[in-house]
Structure formats: C-alpha cells, structure tokens
Amino acid sequence: MGQKEIGIFEAHPSMSSSPRIQFTSSSVAEGLITTAPDLSASPMLAKSWSISDDFLNWTWKFQECVQFHKGYEEMTSEDVPYSYIQWNAGALHARAGIMGEYFGGEDGTFGGCEGASSEIVDDYTLVLNTGVPWVPVQVFELMRNGGGSSTWVVSKKQSEEIGIDAASKDIAATGPWQIESSEKRRILENERC
C-alpha cells in the first residue's frame, strides 16, 4: 500500500496520526470495540464490559488467546492501559486528551479526578474508577475501531524490548495483517507506477 499523504508508516499509539490511523485500523490493528450495523458498541478485543449505575466504575473483560504479531505472545490487560496512555502521551490523536482522562494519562492522574484509579484484576480483566461519571458514548468513541478516530492496542513488551521508534515502524498489533516491511520513497510528481 502506498499513499503520499501517509508519509512513513508509524503505528505505535504515541506516534500515529491521521491519515495513518484510518489505514492502520482494522487491517494491522484492532480496537477494544467496533461499531455494529445498528451503530451500537460491539466487542472486538473487549469481550464484554459493565458500568456501575453511577457511571464511575467500568469493568472490562478482554478476549482470551488474542495473539500479537511477530511472536509477542498474548494480549493481556496490561497492554490495554499501556496503549491508551501512549495515545495520550503522543497527543497526535484527536481524542488523546480524553484517553488520558479515562485511562490515567502518562502521569496516572486521571485528569486530576479525586478517587480515580485503575486495577488490573487478572490477565483479562481491567477495572477503572474514573472519579467522575463518564457517558458510555464518549468512552466508546475513544475505543472504537474502523473509523476516522480509531484506536488500537499494541504489545507493551515489544515497545519495551526494541523501543517505541522501532516498534512504530514494525508494530506488533492484533489485526488480520502484519507489517513485513516499510520504506519511505519520494515519488516524483509526474512519475506513475
């Protein structure tokens, strides 16, 4: 695939921006949810979720046996907040700020909300207390896949082993396609291949 507007391939959440986001989502990478035909939130990497009546406590259950590309093993609850905090840290995504508020951001402050916390219960369960009520549609918007504001989950282990810069160009995500190689080429204006 090649398109001059994309520039060099970057798929780490802290380094990906539009229009790369639209090309990476649902091909190389997957989000927690996707949009169902009736426009409701539908599971993707998330298996299910529950929300307390006061909209403060969110319990996320993740699909089991989802493998990252390149042998980086199974996606776990640890990869999810890592990925979304990286979206916030890079601040290149239109929803970066609200991702940081929901997941705690780079400094773990949850947008300064008192009482907010996160707990990794086990490999497939994450519980967030947001400190203030969150409307589900706002949360689903920042986690969906398959649209202009898509997000995805990447391997924390890969980023720690080879570094974010290297991981971004050779990302270990969970989508149906995997990056084999990428290169930047300058195409002359009149050149057609």
pTM of the predicted model, to two decimals? 0.87
Is 119 in contact with 111 (CB distance < 8 Å)? no
What does DSSP assign to residue 189? T
Q: 21-169: CATH homologous superfamily? A: Dipeptide-binding Protein; Domain 1 (3.90.76.10)
Question: Is the Cα torsion angle 124, 12, 135, 39 positive or negative in sign?
Answer: negative
Q: How far is CA 144 from the centre of its chain?
A: 9
Encoding tokens for residue 184?
């930047």
Q: Which spans in the chain are helix H? A: 20-24, 79-90, 96-103, 136-143, 156-162, 164-169
Q: Give me the tens of pLDDT residue by residue for the chain, a chain 193 residues long.
A: 555 556 677 889 998 877 676 667 777 889 999 888 888 889 999 999 999 999 999 999 999 999 999 999 999 999 999 999 998 998 888 888 888 888 886 666 666 677 788 899 999 999 999 988 998 988 888 887 776 678 899 999 999 999 999 999 899 999 888 877 766 655 555 555 4
